[in-house]
C-alpha cells in the first residue's frame, strides 16, 4: 500500500490540520451532545455562587488595595530573574567571563530597580 504524500510543500502539514479538525470536532460535538442530552434544572438558588452552602456576602468585584497588585507584579519580576539564572548556571563554563559580566549587569539593573522601589516605599504595608 502506497501513500501519495508530497515530499515538501504545504501538503506535508495536512496531517496536523486534520488533527486540529478532529480535536476541535471532538470538543464541539461532546459539548453540544452533553448540552442537549443531559437533564437540567435552573433556579435562583442553583445559579447562585457556591460558597460551601453558606449565603455569599457582598460583591466579588469590590475595589481592594493596590499593594496586592504591586507585590504580585514585583514577585513575577524577580521570579523571572531567577528563572533566567537557571540556564545561565547550567551553561556557566561555556559562556565564560562574558556571560558572567552579562548576568551581573542584568542582576545589577534589577537590584537598582529593587532599591528604587524600596526608596519609593512600595513595599511598606502600613
Partner 1 sequence: MSTIDIKPENKPEGLEGAGFFATSLEKVVGLARANSLWPLPFATSCCGIEFMATMASHYDLSRFGSERLSFSPRQADLLMVMGTISKKLAPVLRQVYEQMAEPKWVLSMGACASSGGIFDTYSVLQGIDRVIPVDVYIPGCPPRPEQVLDGILKIQELSKSEGLRMRNSPEYKAKLALYGIE
The answer to whether the beta carbons of residues 112 and 104 sit under 8 Å apart is: no
Q: Select from 20-28, 50-58, 82-90, 118-126 the region that touches partner 1 (CB under 8 A).
A: 50-58
CB of 62 to partner 1, least distance (A): 23
Nearer to partner 1, 36 or 86 (CB): 36
d(CA 27, CA 115): 50
Q: How far are the Cα atoms of 79, 81, 90, 92, 103 from residue 107, in angstroms, in the given order?
A: 12, 8, 17, 15, 6
x/- string (CB under 8 A) for partner 1, residues 23-42? --------------xxxxx-
List, in sequence order, every beta strand (DSSP E) within the chain: none
> Contact between 46 and partner 1 (CB under 8 A)?
yes
> Contact between 5 and partner 1 (CB under 8 A)?
no
Helix (H) or strand (E) holding 23: helix 14-37
> Contact between 120 and partner 1 (CB under 8 A)?
no
d(CA 19, CA 39): 32
CB of 47 to partner 1, least distance (A): 9
Nearer to partner 1, 40 or 61 (CB): 40
Size of the site for partner 1 (CB under 8 A): 14
* Cell reading at 35: 448540552
**Where on the chain is the footprint of partner 1 (CB under 8 A)?**
37-41, 43-46, 48, 50, 52-54
Amino acid at each position: 500500500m502506497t501513500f501519495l504524500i508530497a515530499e515538501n510543500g504545504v501538503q506535508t502539514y495536512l496531517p496536523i490540520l486534520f488533527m486540529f479538525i478532529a480535536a476541535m470536532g471532538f470538543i464541539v460535538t461532546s459539548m453540544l451532545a452533553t448540552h442537549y442530552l443531559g437533564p437540567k434544572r435552573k433556579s435562583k438558588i442553583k445559579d447562585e455562587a457556591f460558597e460551601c452552602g453558606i449565603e455569599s456576602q457582598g460583591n466579588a468585584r469590590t475595589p481592594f488595595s493596590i499593594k496586592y497588585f504591586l507585590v504580585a507584579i514585583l514577585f513575577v519580576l524577580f521570579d523571572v530573574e531567577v528563572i533566567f539564572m537557571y540556564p545561565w548556571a547550567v551553561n556557566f563554563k561555556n559562556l565564560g567571563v562574558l556571560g558572567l559580566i552579562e548576568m551581573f549587569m542584568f542582576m545589577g539593573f534589577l537590584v537598582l530597580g529593587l532599591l528604587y522601589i524600596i526608596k519609593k516605599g512600595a513595599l511598606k504595608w502600613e
